[in-house]
């Protein structure tokens, strides 16, 4: 049965629609606010393509922001020349920067060093000799740094106590000769990078490398370890102290989330070699009253030199006095090794000038030193002496007394047979060094013989406890902080950076997703709707970026409002926001 109300097609209507002007249809479809209704369901494949493409693009964008600097994986190099009192050593380091952090490798693979003798201070009368010595070290550095990296590798010359003992005129003569060599080296160099560092800096650098090696640099101040160095011309004491101290002894170091208040001071003239010379001069000149019977005899005794040693072999090396005084020294001192007397003589030398102390405590001379706090590492000659006597790393002070008594009381001929692998110039010093260390650490600084907080060391794991490494750590960290203060550097990219290429991929992914959807399902939007949605979404995106990526200046505000940021970001972000709005609006 047919439905009576069935709709019939009017042929004339079809003809009318065929004859209708298509321009009118276009006009009606394009009027403001018109949105053609559609019941067509979105293509699941197109929808999946959109979400996948946008997810990849967002992940890529976050990777560029957060891990952009990890793509800079090329090795960097640094060179430090340590101008010590007895020799000059060069250190060549290589390192990486990953995730904005300095990654150092102080093992044998990541570090190379070479030493030449004597120290720079020995060339006061022959500055060109210092230049030649530095030239040897520079050639060593060139063999360990790729030629293409010479121009961006810094080289610094830092001299210590040996050069501090010279007057300014002699210092400048030596430095000017060395600077000419360093300027012509091909490495990055400035004249002010060749200088004498202060004793406080030397102690500070040693403290930095010690705590870096121990893993406590960047930890709570109470967890750090102090450092006591015994060099050839000076001794350094550096540790975290909560006591109030005069500003000339106070240093502040910020590393990570902590600021460390340090006591740091260098005791010039109290290094092992110079102190030995001063002690023998005092015996010769009679200017120091020692608590021994030797001074009351006609011929002064030298309690720090084993019996039977021929002083003429020294050829005046132990004293910087004039030739006449050297001959007098050889003829008037008689070797009579005695540990206890040498220890007493050393203590008198360390206490000299205490009557002029203007501070609450002066353990050594007239120098302020607060009470020692925490754990300590004893390095350099503390290590060499203790290692020579084969002492335990901890509780070595009590063992040093016994070993020193036996060594100093032995006849020189027996000592040379027992230690025939050592040169006599080095062997003769161990009587004095054993007594001097006990007088310095126990009698002066008050460290108990059985104190487990102090141990001797020359390295921790594979990291040598050399102050030059600490100087390199601080310098590199400071430069990295300056670079990271501009957060745009890892985003926009620097020399040979692939970040613009990655950002291009980011844009291409979004464009492809847009064209696929536009080709599959065209939609119309008015200019008014596009502009309105664009503003709202841009504002939300700006606040989201500021919330999730806090920075100074604010990331979102800089990206959308700061024109100095670079055209690539304005254009790129604008296109991305417009494309996302286009797709969101089409839903």
The alpha-helical segments, DSSP class H, found in 20-111 are: 22-29, 44-67
Q: Is 478 annotated as a binding residue?
A: no
349: Cα separation from own chain's centroid: 36
- Check the CA dihedral 327-332-338-343 and report its sign: negative
Choosing from 15, 154, 202, 314, the catalytic residue is 202
Encode 82-103: b = buried (16+ Cβ within 10 Å), e = exposed. bbbbbbbbbbbbbbbbeebeee
Long-range Cβ pairs for the range 278-286 (8 Å, 24+): 278/349, 279/304, 279/345, 279/346, 279/349, 279/432, 280/304, 280/318, 280/319, 280/329, 280/333, 281/319, 281/321, 281/329, 282/345, 282/349, 283/333, 283/345, 284/319, 284/325, 284/328, 284/329, 284/332, 284/333
DSSP line for 321-334 = S-HHHHHHHHHH-E
Sequence-distant (≥ 6) Cβ neighbours of residue 256 within 8 angstroms: 217, 218
In this structure, what token pair is assigned to residue 463?
């990291």
Does residue 219 have a known ligand-binding role? no
SS3 for 400?
A: helix
Task: Kindly list the distances between the CA atom of residue 564 and the CA atoms of 378, 481, 488, 507, 560, in Å, as whole numbers in the listed order.
Answer: 53, 22, 11, 21, 11
DSSP element (H, E) containing 378: strand 375-380
Could you give the CA distance from residue 371 to residue 544 in angstroms, rounded to a whole number? 52
Dig out the tokens for 154 from the structure: 């810094």
Cα(325)–Cα(452) distance, integer angstroms: 44
Q: How far apart are CA 393 and CA 456, in angstroms?
A: 6
Q: Is 413 annotated as a binding residue?
A: no
Rounded CA separation 176/190 (Å): 12
Nearest CA-CA partner of 89 in 142, 171, 158: 158
Determine the distance from the C-alpha atom of residue 482 to the mean position of all C-alpha atoms in its chain, rounded to a whole number: 14
How buried is 109 (Cβ within 10 angstroms: 0-12 exposed, 13-18 middle, 19+ buried)? exposed
Q: Is the dihedral of CA 516, 521, 527, 528 positive or negative?
A: negative
Q: Is the alpha carbon torsion for 508, 513, 518, 519 positive or negative?
A: positive
| Residues 6 or more apart whose Cβ sits within 8 Å of residue 485 | none
Rounded Cα distance between 102 and 580, Å, is 38
For 527, counting Cβ atoms within 10 Å of its Cβ (0-12 exposed, 13-18 middle, 19+ buried), the class is: exposed
State yes or no: 448 annotated in a binding site: no
- To the query of whether residue 531 is one of the catalytic residues in this protein, the response is no
- Burial of 118: CB neighbours in 10 Å, binned 0-12, 13-18, 19+: middle
What's the chain's Rg over C-alpha atoms?
Answer: 38
**Residue 234 annotated in ligand binding:** yes
Residues with catalytic roles: 202
Q: Which residues are annotated as a binding site for ATP?
A: 232-236
Q: Which residues are annotated as a binding site?
A: 232-236
């Amino acid at each position: 049965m047919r439905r009576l109300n069935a709709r019939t097609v009017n042929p004339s209507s079809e003809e009318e629609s065929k004859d209708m002007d298509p321009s009118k249809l276009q006009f009606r479809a394009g009027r403001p606010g018109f949105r053609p209704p559609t019941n067509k369901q979105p293509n699941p494949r197109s929808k999946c393509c959109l979400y996948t493409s946008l997810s990849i693009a967002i992940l890529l964008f976050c990777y560029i922001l957060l891990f952009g600097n990890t793509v800079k994986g090329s090795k960097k190099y640094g060179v430090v020349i340590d101008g010590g009192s007895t020799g000059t050593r060069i250190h060549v380091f290589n390192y990486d920067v990953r995730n904005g952090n300095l990654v150092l490798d102080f093992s044998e693979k990541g570090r190379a060093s070479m030493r030449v003798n004597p120290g720079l201070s020995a060339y006061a009368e022959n500055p060109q000799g210092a230049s030649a010595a530095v030239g040897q070290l520079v050639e060593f550095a060139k063999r360990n740094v790729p030629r293409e990296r010479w121009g961006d590798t810094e080289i610094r010359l830092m001299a210590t106590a040996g050069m501090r003992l010279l007057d300014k005129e002699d210092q400048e003569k030596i430095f000017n000769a060395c600077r000419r060599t360093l300027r012509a080296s091909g490495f990055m160099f400035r004249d002010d990078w060749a200088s004498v560092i202060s004793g406080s800096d030397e102690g500070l650098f040693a403290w930095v490398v010690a705590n870096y090696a121990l893993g406590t640099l960047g930890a709570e101040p109470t967890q750090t370890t102090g450092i006591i160095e015994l060099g050839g011309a000076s001794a350094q004491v550096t540790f975290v102290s909560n006591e109030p101290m005069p500003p000339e002894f106070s240093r502040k170091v910020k590393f990570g989330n902590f600021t460390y208040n340090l006591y740091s001071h260098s005791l010039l003239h109290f290094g092992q070699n110079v102190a030995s010379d001063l002690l023998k001069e005092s015996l010769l000149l009679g200017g120091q009253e020692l608590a021994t019977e030797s001074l009351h005899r006609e011929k002064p005794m030298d309690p720090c030199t084993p019996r039977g040693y021929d002083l003429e072999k020294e050829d005046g090396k132990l004293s910087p006095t004039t030739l006449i005084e050297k001959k007098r020294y050889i003829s008037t001192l008689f070797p009579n090794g005695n540990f206890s007397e040498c220890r007493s003589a050393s203590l008198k030398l360390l206490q000299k000038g205490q009557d002029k102390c203007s501070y609450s405590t002066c353990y050594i001379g007239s120098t302020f030193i607060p009470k020692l706090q925490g754990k300590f590492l004893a390095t350099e000659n503390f290590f060499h002496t203790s290692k020579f006597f084969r002492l335990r790393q901890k509780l070595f002070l009590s063992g040093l007394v016994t070993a020193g008594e036996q060594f100093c009381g032995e006849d020189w001929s027996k000592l040379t047979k027992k230690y025939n692998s050592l040169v006599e110039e080095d062997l003769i010093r161990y009587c004095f060094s054993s007594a001097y260390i006990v007088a310095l650490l126990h009698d002066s600084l008050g460290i108990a013989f059985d104190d487990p907080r102090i141990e001797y060391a020359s390295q921790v794991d594979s990291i040598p406890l050399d102050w030059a490494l600490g100087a390199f750590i601080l310098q590199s960290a400071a430069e990295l902080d300056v670079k990271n203060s501009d957060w745009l550097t890892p985003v926009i990219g620097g020399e040979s950076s692939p970040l613009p290429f990655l950002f291009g991929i980011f844009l291409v992914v979004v464009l492809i997703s847009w064209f696929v959807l536009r080709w599959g399902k065209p939609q119309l939007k008015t200019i008014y709707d596009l502009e309105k949605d664009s503003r709202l979404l841009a504002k939300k995106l700006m606040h989201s970026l500021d919330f999730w990526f806090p920075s100074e200046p604010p990331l979102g505000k800089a990206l959308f409002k700061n024109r100095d940021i670079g055209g690539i970001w304005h254009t790129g972000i604008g296109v991305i926001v417009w494309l996302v709005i286009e797709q969101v609006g089409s839903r």
